[in-house]
């Protein structure tokens, strides 16, 4: 076998990952050392993504876009699987006051609102000045703003295969703009709140959080002296679940093909596009099986390590953001700039107004912290929400940070009906309109549920 540089199949992956790693380190240095970038509160992975995009477009660095798309697709599933394998801690009295279900409903209702705004734009333009526009394109607004580059890439690719030319780049561009909205609008509003003295009093210094030994190792975990490294077990668990996810998706695909109907066939790309949901559900199932085995004595050790699983998830999501942004192809956006601008602007305004109103009702005791964290996440990713929250609540004294994590798990269940809507929308003009109507109905159902929970909590 040729081990030299001429064997591109051998070295391509290593070279590409090495360049991304170097860009990520450079972005971290810039964020720490350049005042303007530091004040922008943009996540390091987002900065790295834009640097990689610029280097690729200027041909300074040759990035393999096909490999980057593959990495984006797989890392979102790996990240969610690792998160779902984490053993949940017992909630404190303060966090028990949180209602994870209403936060999950809030997240999904924000997706639905963004979906309605996007569909109004795409369908409206398609029936007026842009008759050739893909009418279901508006679904990519919540995929980009609410879900981030991973799902924007997956659903955009699916829609592109169904006839939406430039769908993948359109979705990724919306996701990239979402980060800009989260950091610019969020920071501006944060400064307004500070000037009006509406935020909690803080020392103004960065909090150095001290981790205790329980965060790194719990009782009955694999000892350091074991013949296999603890990290190896975490990686093995994640990839076993991912293999099971592939087997499950393959089995469902074969059943849908056997059904032979057009509706069943339309679900197949959605199944693979949302493979992370199946991965999360399987991870939770396996976590439950391991817990049951320990309770009845069949398993004597705790194999999951929460700290290492969190690191696997964090790395996966960072890599997903970098590769997702750097694969944007602006050439494919030709003719799509009008819907892109309208969706991004109206989506940002609508999300801001809605979250300001609903967070005041759901989180009256920590309204501003709740709003900043949710707005950052619903236009960027969870790290964007944490970055904005840290400026308002550096010690995380409010439950706002826990909302993002706890609510996201409930959102998976609330969001399952959206799978059908995403599959329905591109089938025909009528189905796009029906999808928009279903989004509106489901939005008001979730809104009614959230307000009912809020009133019940107020009485108690």
The per-residue pLDDT for range 329-366, each reduced to its tens digit, is 888 888 899 999 999 999 999 999 999 999 999 888 88
Reported as a pLDDT band with limits 50, 70 and 90, residue 245 is: very high
What pLDDT sits at residue 422? 85
For the chain, the maximum distance between any two Cα atoms, rounded to a whole number of angstroms, is 73
Q: How far is CA 103 from CA 34, 270, 317, 374, 409, in A?
A: 35, 25, 22, 9, 10
Token couple for 55: 């280097």
If you average pLDDT over residues 392-401, what whole number do you get? 78
Reported as a pLDDT band with limits 50, 70 and 90, residue 320 is: confident
Beta-bridge partners for 221: 302
The per-residue pLDDT for range 85-125, each reduced to its tens digit, is 988 766 544 444 445 788 889 999 999 999 999 999 999 99
- Given a cut of 80, whether residue 187 has pLDDT beyond it is yes
What pLDDT sits at residue 423? 80
The per-residue pLDDT for range 6-60, each reduced to its tens digit, is 888 889 999 999 999 999 999 999 989 998 888 777 788 889 999 999 999 999 9
> 460 or 151: whose pLDDT is higher?
151
Reported as a pLDDT band with limits 50, 70 and 90, residue 195 is: confident
Tell me the DSSP string of 3-31. Answer: -STT-HHHHHHHHHHHHHHHHHHHHHHHH
Do residues 122 and 133 lie in contact, with contact meaning Cβ atoms separated by under 8 Å?
yes
Reported as a pLDDT band with limits 50, 70 and 90, residue 205 is: very low
Distance CA 139, CA 142 (A): 6
Do residues 407 and 107 lie in contact, with contact meaning Cβ atoms separated by under 8 Å?
yes
Reported as a pLDDT band with limits 50, 70 and 90, residue 206 is: very low
What pLDDT sits at residue 237? 95
Distance CA 195, CA 198 (A): 8
- Given a cut of 60, whether residue 213 has pLDDT beyond it is no
The ranges assigned to domains in the chain are: 10-88+100-206+315-459
If you average pLDDT over residues 288-303, what whole number do you get? 86
Mean pLDDT over each residue of the chain, to the nearest integer: 84
pLDDT more than 90, % of the chain: 39
């Amino acid at each position: 076998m040729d081990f030299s540089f001429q064997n591109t199949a051998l070295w391509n992956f290593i070279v590409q990952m090495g360049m991304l790693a170097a860009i990520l380190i450079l972005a971290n240095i810039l964020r720490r050392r350049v005042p303007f970038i530091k004040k922008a509160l943009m996540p390091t992975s987002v900065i790295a993504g834009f640097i990689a995009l610029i280097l690729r477009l200027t041909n300074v660095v040759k990035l393999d876009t096909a490999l980057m798309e593959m990495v984006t697709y797989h890392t979102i599933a790996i990240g969610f699987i690792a998160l779902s394998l984490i053993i949940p801690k017992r909630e404190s009295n303060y966090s028990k006051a949180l209602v994870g279900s209403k936060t999950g409903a809030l997240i999904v209702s924000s997706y639905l609102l963004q979906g309605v705004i996007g569909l109004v734009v795409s369908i409206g333009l398609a029936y007026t000045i842009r008759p050739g526009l893909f009418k279901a394109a508006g679904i990519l607004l919540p995929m980009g703003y609410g879900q981030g580059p991973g799902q924007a890439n997956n659903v955009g690719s699916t829609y592109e295969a169904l006839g939406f030319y430039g769908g993948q780049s359109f979705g990724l561009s919306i996701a990239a703009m979402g980060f800009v909205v989260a950091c610019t609008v969020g920071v501006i509003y944060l400064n307004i709140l500070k000037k009006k003295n509406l935020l909690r009093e803080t020392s103004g210094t960065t909090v150095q959080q001290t981790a205790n030994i329980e965060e790194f190792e719990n009782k009955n975990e694999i000892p350091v002296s074991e013949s296999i490294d603890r990290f190896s077990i975490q990686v093995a668990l994640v990839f076993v679940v991912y293999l099971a996810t592939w087997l499950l998706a393959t089995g469902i695909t074969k059943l849908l093909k056997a059904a032979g109907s057009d509706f069943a066939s339309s679900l197949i790309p959605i199944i693979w596009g949302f493979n992370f949901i199946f991965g999360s559900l399987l991870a939770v199932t396996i976590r439950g099986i391991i817990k049951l085995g320990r309770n009845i004595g069949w398993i004597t050790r705790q194999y999951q390590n929460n700290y290492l699983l969190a690191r696997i998830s964090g790395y996966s999501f960072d890599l997903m953001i970098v590769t997702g942004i750097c694969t944007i192809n602006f050439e494919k956006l030709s003719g799509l700039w009008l819907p892109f601008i309208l969706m991004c602007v109206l989506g940002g305004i609508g999300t801001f107004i809605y979250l300001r109103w609903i967070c005041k009702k759901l989180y009256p005791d920590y309204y501003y912290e709740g709003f900043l964290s949710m707005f950052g996440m619903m236009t960027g990713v969870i790290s964007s929400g944490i970055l904005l929250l840290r400026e308002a609540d550096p010690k995380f004294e409010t439950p706002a940070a826990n909302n993002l994590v706890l609510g996201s798990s409930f959102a998976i269940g609330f969001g399952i009906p959206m799978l059908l809507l995403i599959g329905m929308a591109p089938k025909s003009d009528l189905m796009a309109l029906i999808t928009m109507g279903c989004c509106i109905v489901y939005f008001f159902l979730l809104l009614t549920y959230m307000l009912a929970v809020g009133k019940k909590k107020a009485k108690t």
